[in-house]
C-alpha cells in the first residue's frame, strides 16, 4: 500500500491560525480607522486667511497674501468654536473679514470673534451656524509611545486629508521651527505625514478623540520628513477655556529670570552629580518669587516633586500650573538644599 505524504508546502494548523488572526486584526484595524475618519472629518475645517505682507525676497512692495491652515470644531461652555493655532490667524485678529472657514459640507463661514494667545499658540474662532459637528475631545495624559494616531487637515490646501502614524515621543520642549517662536507647551512628536496647511488640525486616537493640535514640522525642505509636533489637547484646553471665558490667557509666573547657560559643567561646579536644575539669574523685587524667598543664584532642582531638567522645562512646568497655586520647590543655595513654597502670580497673555 502506498503511503500518503503531506504536500510539501502545506501550512501547519498553527501557522495558518496565526496568519488568519493577523489578517483579521489588520482588517479590523482598517474598519476602525474608516469609522474614525467618518466620525472626525465633519469636524475638520480649512482656514483661509488674507493678509497684507511685503512681497519678494527683499521685502519690497506690499501685496495681498493668502495662507491656509486647519482647525477643528469644538464646544466650550455651550458655545461653538473653531480651535486652531494662533499663528495661522495672527494677522486677522483685528480683521475678521480676512478669514474664511470652509466646512466639510462645503459651507463657508466668517468668524464672529477671534481670540488667541501667542505664548501658547492657541486661538478660538467663534462661529454660529446650524448642523455643526463638534469633535470628541480625549485625554492627552493617557497617550503614550507608540500609540497609533491619525492626523487630519489640509496640507497644501488639499481639503479633507488624513494620514496615519504613531506617537514617536512625548514631552518635547525644544523643536526645530525656524524663526517662529516656540510656544510654551510640551509637544507630542509624530511620524505621521504632516505638511504646510496641516497646522491647527487635530491629531486623533483610534477612538476618534482629539488628543492634540498639530502645530509644527521639523524639515530642511519645508515639507514632511517624518518629524512633526502637536500640542497635547489637555494643554490646549487649559488656554482655550480661559480664552472662551475672558478673551485672554493668564500665564502663571514667579517673576524670575533663569540662566540659559546653566549646563552640565555649571551643575558639576555647583556640586551636582548630573545635569539637572535651573539657576535663578534675577528675581524681580516684590514678585511672587521674591515674596516666596527665592534669591539670585538659587538652583531650582524640583517642582512639585518633578525633577527640573533645565530652564525650559521649569518654564513649562510653571506655565502648566494654575495662578495662585503654591508649588513645592526644592532648591540648592550654596551647599544647602531648602524647600520653598511660593505662590504663583498671573499675567494676562494675548
Return the active site residues: 87, 121, 199
Establish how many alpha carbons lie within 13 A of residue 72's alpha carbon, considering only the half-sphere containing its beta carbon: 34
In angstroms, the CA 307 to CA 99 distance is 43
Amino acid at each position: 500500500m502506498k503511503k500518503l505524504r503531506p504536500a510539501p508546502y502545506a501550512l501547519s494548523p498553527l501557522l495558518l491560525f496565526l496568519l488568519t488572526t493577523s489578517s483579521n486584526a489588520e482588517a479590523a484595524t482598517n474598519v476602525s480607522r474608516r469609522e474614525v475618519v467618518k466620525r472626525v472629518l465633519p469636524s475638520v475645517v480649512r482656514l483661509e486667511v488674507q493678509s497684507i505682507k511685503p512681497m519678494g525676497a527683499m521685502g519690497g512692495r506690499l501685496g495681498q497674501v493668502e495662507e491656509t491652515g486647519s482647525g477643528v470644531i469644538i464646544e466650550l461652555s455651550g458655545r461653538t468654536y473653531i480651535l486652531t493655532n494662533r499663528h495661522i490667524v495672527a494677522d486677522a485678529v483685528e480683521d475678521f473679514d480676512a478669514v474664511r472657514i470652509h466646512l466639510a459640507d462645503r459651507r463657508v463661514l466668517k468668524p464672529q470673534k477671534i481670540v488667541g494667545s501667542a505664548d501658547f499658540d492657541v486661538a478660538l474662532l467663534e462661529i454660529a451656524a446650524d448642523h455643526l459637528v463638534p469633535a470628541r475631545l480625549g485625554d492627552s495624559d493617557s497617550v503614550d509611545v507608540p500609540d497609533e494616531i491619525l492626523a487630519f487637515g489640509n496640507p497644501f490646501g488639499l481639503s479633507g486629508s488624513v494620514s496615519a502614524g504613531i506617537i514617536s515621543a512625548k514631552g518635547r520642549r525644544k523643536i526645530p521651527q525656524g524663526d517662529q517662536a516656540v510656544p510654551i507647551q510640551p509637544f507630542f512628536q509624530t511620524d505621521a505625514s504632516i505638511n504646510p496647511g496641516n497646522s491647527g488640525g487635530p491629531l486623533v486616537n483610534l477612538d476618534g478623540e482629539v488628543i492634540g493640535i498639530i502645530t509644527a514640522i521639523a524639515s530642511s525642505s519645508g515639507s514632511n520628513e517624518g518629524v512633526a509636533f502637536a500640542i497635547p489637547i489637555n494643554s490646549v484646553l487649559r488656554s482655550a477655556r480661559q480664552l472662551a471665558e475672558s478673551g485672554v490667557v493668564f500665564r502663571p509666573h514667579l517673576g524670575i529670570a533663569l540662566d540659559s547657560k546653566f549646563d552640565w559643567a555649571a551643575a558639576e561646579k555647583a556640586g551636582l552629580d548630573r545635569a539637572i536644575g535651573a539657576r535663578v539669574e534675577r528675581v524681580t523685587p516684590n514678585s511672587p518669587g521674591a515674596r516666596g524667598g527665592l534669591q539670585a543664584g538659587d538652583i531650582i532642582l524640583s517642582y512639585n516633586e518633578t525633577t527640573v531638567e533645565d530652564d525650559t522645562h521649569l518654564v513649562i512646568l510653571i506655565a502648566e500650573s494654575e495662578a495662585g497655586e503654591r508649588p513645592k520647590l526644592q532648591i540648592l543655595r550654596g551647599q544647602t538644599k531648602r524647600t520653598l513654597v511660593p505662590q504663583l502670580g498671573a499675567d494676562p497673555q494675548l
